[in-house]
Amino acid sequence: MEKEIQIFKDLLNEKELSVYAFAKAIEVDVQVVQNWFYRNGIPKKKLVTVANYFGVTVDYLLKGK
């Protein structure tokens, strides 16, 4: 899960997005996204949404491939 979180952080940095801006863009509460960083990683039900937003595959989000 740590790799998944780092990949997510890297994608945010590449797009120069704040957690707030990203949360707003995918229409979830900012606290939900913050929890992804500090607790559980991206929940399975949101993986496709996040992958589509960044234009990457779910496999890339999870494994960096």
pLDDT tens readout for residues 11-24: 999 999 999 999 99
**Band of residue 1 on the pLDDT scale cut at 50, 70, 90:** low
- Report domain extents, the chain: 2-63
| Closest to 49 in 3D by CA, of 2, 6, 11 | 11
pTM of the predicted structure, to 2 decimals: 0.85
Does the pLDDT of residue 26 top 70, yes or no?
Answer: yes
CATH of domain 2-63: 1.10.260.40
Record the tokens describing residue 4, joined without a space.
């998944």
What per-residue confidence (pLDDT) applies to 4? 84
Residues with Cβ within 8 Å of residue 48, at least 6 apart in sequence: 58
Six token digits for residue 42 = 């991206």
Q: In this predicted model, which residue has the larger pLDDT, 37 or 7?
A: 7
Percentage with pLDDT > 70 across the chain? 98
